[in-house]
Amino acid sequence: MKSHYQILVIGGGTGGIMTSANLLAKDKSLDIGLIEPAEWHYYQPAWTLVGGGTYDFEKTKRPMSSVMPYGVDWIKDYATGFNPEGNSVSTKESGDITYDYLIVSPGLVMDTSLIEGLTESLGKGVVCSNYTDPKHTWEVLRNFKGGNAVFTQPTTPIKCGGAPQKIAYLAADYFKKNGLKNKSNVVFATPGSVIFGVKEIRESLMQVISKYGIHFKPFYAPIKIDGENQIVTFKGVGTGENKCVINEDNELREVMSGEQIIEMPFDMLHLAPPQTAPKFVKESSLVNDAGWLDVDIHTLQHNKYPNIFGLGDVAALPTAKTGAAIRKQVPVVSDNIRQLIAYDKKGNKSYNGYSSCPLVTGYGKMILAEFDYDNNFIPDPKLKQMLVFNSEKEHWRLWMLKKYGLPYLYWNKMMKGKEV
């Protein structure tokens, strides 16, 4: 096993694989090593559909060996630490590996310890998450007989910020189609102040919420899960007129303690677990005060170490952590590194914060949110070729894109390093 590479990549997820493939497509002479311990590579955007019972989980996974770009040395090991001054990365079993340039893209990790009781409850009974086991979500959903179906998310950044509400819409549609609508209270509780940050999308989603009769609870931060007694505890994080209150009819059977603590019983609970950078990144000198990889938001170059770049979920970027974002980050990282190697200066490409969230709003319906750092709505002009002229509105063609088009794009274009 080699101990030095011209370019060393950490992470065999979307960012690491696509960037490596793109670099080699532009220059086959590049010497690239990629550190990744996992045997399987997952297409996680489809896990929402798995949780809704409309996609086969087995189709979301492929052997890591099948997506590893030809010409890349796969170092099947765990990265454990950084020595940026010495241009080296330590590993669990392969010793220290040095580099000329480093690309950090190990994704993020679930940290269930950040919500009391979550570690003990998650994946058991009616407490489920598409982020960890979407097959269990589908099992809980199809066995639901009525009561409170609660969907929530943490105060930490999460991958695909729209995912916690997508499954709520699928559940509401499922209950409606199966005669459970009048027996069910679908609740979407979020620490955030609005349903979505982009105005055009927010307006459409509020119509979806109204159509299904979903109880939308902003400023609700989950702090404790009691899986045995099926009670979720929230802390109200709003102030002034945004303080959480219990409705007069109290249909949800909430119990309030003091001014901030609300207990809500549930018959189904789906949540996105709290998420953080991996421990070896979080405890390194490469992160900002919030614990995420400290890179320039436009060049994706590390703010302290110029031969280190970062992209994907681990990066401290003020945009949604999605595969679509990575799709636009890869060309920037690839161009910058190739220009540095050839001319000792960065390229001219800049990342504008583009991200996309395919918001499934029911079976056969979807809204496509595309936006930049400033939350401007920036729909792809190519959508008109699909006869979709208002992607901020529900459309069956967008559902087809989500279920069939985007998985094809992922496996056959992005994993091959193609800029799409």
Among 327, 326, 304, 328, which residue's Cα sits nearest to residue 315?
Answer: 326
Instruction: In whole angstroms, give the CA distance from residue 11 to residue 105.
Output: 5
Structure tokens at 175: 């209950």
Those residues with Cβ within 8 angstroms of residue 176's Cβ, 6 or more apart along the chain or in another chain: 212
Helix (H, G, I), strand (E, B) or coil at 88: strand
Q: Which of 357, 360, 388, 415 is catalytic?
A: 357
113, 20 in Cβ contact below 8 A? no
Q: Which of 67, 108, 140, 160 is catalytic?
A: 160
**Cα dihedral 10, 16, 19, 23 sign:** positive
Q: How far is CA 394 from CA 165, 187, 201, 238, in A?
A: 15, 21, 10, 30
Q: Residue 146 contacts by C-beta under 8 Å, 6 or more apart in sequence?
A: 180, 183, 184, 267
CA–CA gap between residue 354 and residue 360 (Å, rounded): 19
| Degrees to nearest 5, angle at CA 219 with 217 and 220 | 65
CB atoms under 10 Å from CB of 343, counted, come to 9
User: For residue 90, with 0-12 CB atoms within 10 Å meaning exposed, 13-18 middle and 19 or more buried, which class applies?
Assistant: middle
Q: What are the DSSP calls for 95-147, one per residue?
A: -EEEEEEEEE----EE-GGGSBTHHHHTTSTTEE-TTT-HHHHHHHHHT--SE
Active-site residue flag, 357: yes
- The first and second tokens of residue 7, run together, are 């370019």
- Sort residue 53 into left (φ over 0), alpha (ψ -120 to 50) or beta: left
Evaluate whether 244 touches 238 at the Cβ level (below 8 Å): yes
CA distance 124 to 101: 44
Note if 128 is an active site residue: no
So which residues are the catalytic ones? 160, 357
